[in-house]
Amino acid sequence: MKLLPDTNVLIYDTIEDSELHEEATRIIDSAKEIFIPSIVIHEFIWVMLKLIQVAPSFVALKIREYLEDPRARYVLEPAEVIINALKMLEEDCQSVKEVNDYIILATAMHHNLTLATFDKKLKKIAIKRGLRVVP
């Protein structure tokens, strides 16, 4: 499967004592290709440094681990993805606080990928828009 992991999947995969660690690891391990958009990397950095408060060197190590995986492809979101994300955000009457999730959603749609997320709200929106979602 060609997979786009949401930030929360990478976080749970990284934090070994988290309740969803095993499931996140299984999802990542089962992917044939892993597409990681820049917005996911930026969110990952922010969550790891600000909320989980780990050392920047650990975050750098994990980013390198994810991006140097032979299955991984780092994706910069093109303008049409950003525009489509904003259009869907407006269509769905969502708060601007959801814009990052919509950019992740639009990226998965643009590349025809399976979205991996533990975010119930994002999962519901993705399914409504016809995107494959795991778990």
18 pLDDT higher than 90: no
How many domains, the chain?
1
Q: For residue 47, give the CATH number of its domain.
A: 3.40.50.1010
Q: What's the chain's average pLDDT?
A: 97
- Report DSSP letters for 105-131, one per residue: HHHHHHTT-EEE---HHHHHHHHHTT-
Give the global pTM: 0.95
| Domain range enclosing 44 | 2-134
Mean pLDDT within 91-106: 97
Residue with tokens 């976080």: 11
Mean pLDDT within 10-33: 96
